[in-house]
Amino acid sequence: MDHEHEYEVLIISTDDIEGLYSKLMLPFTQTVLIWKRRTEGMKYETKAYRMYNHSFENDASYRLYTDGSLIISSLSLENEGNYVCIYGTSEEQSYSVITLHAIVLSSINFLGCNSSVQCVLEVQSGDDIECALKGVRPEVNLEFVYPDSSTPSPISLEGQTRIPEIHGDVYDISIKSRVQIAADADIRNITIVCRVTNSAIGEHLMEAKAILTLEGLSVAGQDSSKSATSHTVLLLLVIFPPVALVASFVCFLACKRRAVFEEKLYVTDKTSKCILVFSTSLDYERNFGQDHLNDQGVNVCEEKGLLLVLNGGGEADAVISVFKPNGEYVIEIGQIQLEDPWYIKCNGTDEIFISDNGSREVTVFNIVDNKLVNRFSSDQADGNQYCRGIDVDQDNNIYLAVRAPGYRAQRECIVKYNANFDQSKE
């Protein structure tokens, strides 16, 4: 056998991996003879093989794809390990090795903060800040980051002492630094990020944010009740006093990304990346969310009294940011599981429905415990279909707008799914 090695590492990141992912594909594009998984020592168990027109899988959770890739359904931690693909002809074979690793993450939080709400810490020079992550597998790294690279940091962090604790095959990891405030600091509130990284991936896995209120400062001329965004909006309202022009301006900012709740109009602003609050007569009142948002859509879950904001569409860190109507930040939903979310709906219970145009899937989360409930593809029998708008009625029927790829004469339709995700075209 020709010992042609190809090593690839696939990483899965989640806080509850068991049953969370419907499937994983171990990619391959050669004529496959056999897939094996290493069990212990140098022992290997055959999972699937194909020879001529005959295919075989010895486990219902494994399936051979048409191009020879191995699909693993109902993915769990037990699927972790080395997979060997032997391919070629009856006269000459080669093999490749794919290593599947799982990274299990739990909630990350700053000491002194509840991880489910916006964290605000009052600090003075010499105070310590600490960030912790519990029950992670395998071992990861933590680091403090000042995210606003456009301005000098008003603080410095002395040392980043890492404290790992091992509990079986999982780790509790914390990091601690001492805050020193610059003598010429001219801002009172800054955002600091605690970031989780792993060398096998080469990029951050998740992060937590805290707003540090710097004590002992006297910032001349600063009115914390007025941000640059509120000043700009008020200026526009003065320049364009007619209501029709103001309404046009608001709708331009909203770009269909707006929601009404308790006689307040909430608008996501693409430029300033915040939520603007207007009265129903279109009088500007306030804004919030600058530290948590990229531009995207907004919706209201009236039964829960929450604002749901699609945050970071088309980016690697796309999430659902949840606020209370008073501007209090509550939680982020969907980390590492969303690609390009477009629309969001709640159904009056604990579930929210997200149309993810990037993955061509509808994703269902439980908003209370931030767990993935279900996901299903928007593709139809006649090909790929990108999901757009979504709505849910009182019987949990889902109405999904889908669109074929392309730029001209695309097929568009509404697909109805019942509560069991069975579909019928309307």
> 138 preceded by cis ω (within 30°)?
yes
Is the CB of residue 161 less than 8 Å from the CB of residue 177?
A: yes
Domain-wise residue ranges, the chain = 7-103, 105-214, 228-425
Condensed to tens digits (0 to 9), the pLDDT of residues 174-202 reads 999 998 888 877 777 788 888 888 776 66
Q: What is the pLDDT of residue 296?
A: 52
Condensed to tens digits (0 to 9), the pLDDT of residues 8-35 reads 444 444 333 333 334 566 665 556 578 8
Sequence-separated (6 or more) residues with CB below 8 Å from residue 289:
273, 274, 275, 309, 321, 323, 327, 329
C-alpha angle 84-90-93 in degrees, rounded to nearest 5: 35
Low-confidence ranges of the chain (pLDDT < 50): 2-22, 115-117, 218-258, 295, 407-409, 425-426
Separation of alpha carbons 332 and 311, rounded Å: 9
CATH code of the domain made up of 7-103 = 2.60.40.10
Tokens of 108: 């990350």
Asked, colleague to colleague, whether 7-103 and 228-425 share their fold, the answer is no
CATH code of the domain made up of 228-425 = 2.120.10.30
Tokens of 117: 């709400």
Tokens of 118: 């916006």
Condensed to tens digits (0 to 9), the pLDDT of residues 104-134 reads 777 788 888 764 445 788 888 889 999 988 8
CATH code of the domain made up of 105-214 = 2.60.40.10
Q: Which long-range contacts (CB under 8 A, 24 or more apart) does 377-383 make?
A: 378/402, 378/415, 380/415
